[in-house]
Structure 1
Amino acid sequence: MASHNDFGKIAEDMAADYLKKNGYKILTRNFRFQKAEVDIIAEKDDLLIIVEVKARSTDAFMLPQEAVTKTKIKSIVSAVNHYLEEFDKHNEVRFDIISVLPDEKRNLTIEHIADAFQAFDAN
């Protein structure tokens, strides 16, 4: 398996490819605001889709999507609010999670969880 940083990059590339193949337009990747980072910002059907990519080499301890904590959600929402203002976007926003895990044969698999959390979940 690749090093941690390489694995994360591979997972993000896989997620972006998956989204493109499924009709999403990638607007930006790794958008940063203060200490927050949004992995992928995409658009589909006039929705702005915010995607947090979580990759793990195993799900023995927790599923990748379980690593998206209230603190992480607050951070993402803050960055997205800044993005909306900076780029004068008025689309409805949806928050998705894409998890990447190896299967039994060590092939990486994707699970796309649409509408995984709401901005107010972090309150």
Structure 2
Amino acid sequence: MSDRLSRGKLGEDITADYLCKNDFEIVARNYHSRYGEIDIIAKNSEFIAFVEVKARNEKALERPAAAVTSAKRRKIIQTALIFLSEFEYDLQPRFDVCEITIDNRTDVLIELNYIENAFDTEGFL
């Protein structure tokens, strides 16, 4: 497994732990559709959150969330629509991004920045 893939998996594990500690239940991880993948789908009593995890090392030049481009947001939204057509939830959908910064040498978490409502469907539907 490449460093990028192992850092991504570690970032997803850290994010899943964070969500569980904040009263969310993990519904799915790495949910695939023909449009793409959603890293984590989680729910609480009010929301179903579609979470994109971006993990970087501490030497990255830009914020991890900057990698969630318009094209990536479109794929996440399309995949979320497919998920919601397959599984019925009476919850408000929300698109979140979790920025994870990891020490390159030790794989220790340096920073977790969880962005609720990082984007919405405006302009995509």
- Please report the TM-score for the alignment, with normalisation by the length of structure 1: 0.89
How far did residue 61 of structure 1 move? 1.8
Note the residue ranges of structure 1 that are not aligned, 5 or more in a row: none
1:68-79 to structure 2, matched below 5 A, reads 68-79=68-79
How far did residue 89 of structure 1 move? 2.7
- Distance in 1 of aligned mates of 2:119 and 2:36: 17
Q: Is 1:51–1:95's contact at 8 Å kept on the other side of the alignment? A: yes
**Counterpart of 2:56?**
56
Q: Is 1:52–1:97's contact at 8 Å kept on the other side of the alignment? A: yes
Q: Is 1:84–1:90's contact at 8 Å kept on the other side of the alignment? A: no
How far did residue 15 of structure 1 move? 0.4
- Distance in 1 of aligned mates of 2:82 and 2:7: 28
**Counterpart of 1:40?**
40
- Equivalent residues, number: 121
Among all aligned residue pairs of Structure 1 and Structure 2, give the percentage whose two residues are the same amino acid.
Answer: 35
- Distance in 1 of aligned mates of 2:59 and 2:69: 16
Provide the alpha-carbon RMSD of the alignment: 1.9
Q: Is 2:51–2:98's contact at 8 Å kept on the other side of the alignment? A: yes
Note the residue ranges of structure 2 that are not aligned, 5 or more in a row: none
- Please report the TM-score for the alignment, with normalisation by the length of structure 2: 0.87
- Distance in 2 of aligned mates of 1:22 and 1:58: 25
**Counterpart of 1:95?**
95
How far did residue 46 of structure 1 move? 2.4
How far did residue 55 of structure 1 move? 0.6
